[in-house]
Structure 1
Amino acid sequence: MAGFGDSLAAMDAAIMASLNDGTAGYLNAAGTVLASGVEVILDRDVERLDTVSGMLDRAVTITVRKASLQPFDRRGAFRLDGKTWHIDGIATDDGHWLTLYVVP
């Protein structure tokens, strides 16, 4: 019988296999590559509440497995398909999956 960790890893692999938008390079704020081949999910037109103005904006997010980004640099970036996406904030962090607001 498979343990919980094995089942979780299998579920993560299935989610990424069906939803990923490719692999990206993960860079720190200085532009040094911290990880290559990081599977990412890129979502456009995600609703984001601007806490200053109270207005609802559209944003781009990248979702990754948190363990893929060690060490994590909040000012880092992802290089995906020749385009660099800079981390602009954390949308959600459940300790396992990390969804980040990103800007070109």
Structure 2
Amino acid sequence: MPEIHEVSTLTSKGQITLPKSIRQALGVDTGGKVAFDLRGDEVIVTRVVTEHEDPAIGAFLALLEADLRAGRHIQALPDDLAKTMLASIDHPVNLDDDIAGEVAL
């Protein structure tokens, strides 16, 4: 990783803006997470790699977590959907393939 020296100003709320060059070098974008480690008088900033970086998956998992914490129970999948999913487990998927048939949204 290239050496970069940037300076940020601490706000009255204890916040700083992570400089663009640092965000780019770490590969962190809006909603990304960083960790701060204090080592002596230095702070080391690293990107936190989450299990699901896809914002749609992250939002879905957050929704599920909120429902579970609120005590709402998730209903079982319909049998036909569960069987189709289980039958597809060992089949490779190419997300760039065209979808065959009609899709109802």
Q: TM-score range by the shorter chain?
A: under 0.3
Which structure has more relative contact order (CA 8 Å, sep 6+)? It is 1
* Structure exhibiting the larger radius of gyration computed from Cα positions: 2
Instruction: Choose between structure 1 and 2: higher helix proportion.
Output: 2
Using the size of structure 2 for normalisation, the TM-score is 0.21
Q: Tell me the TM-score normalized by structure 1.
A: 0.21
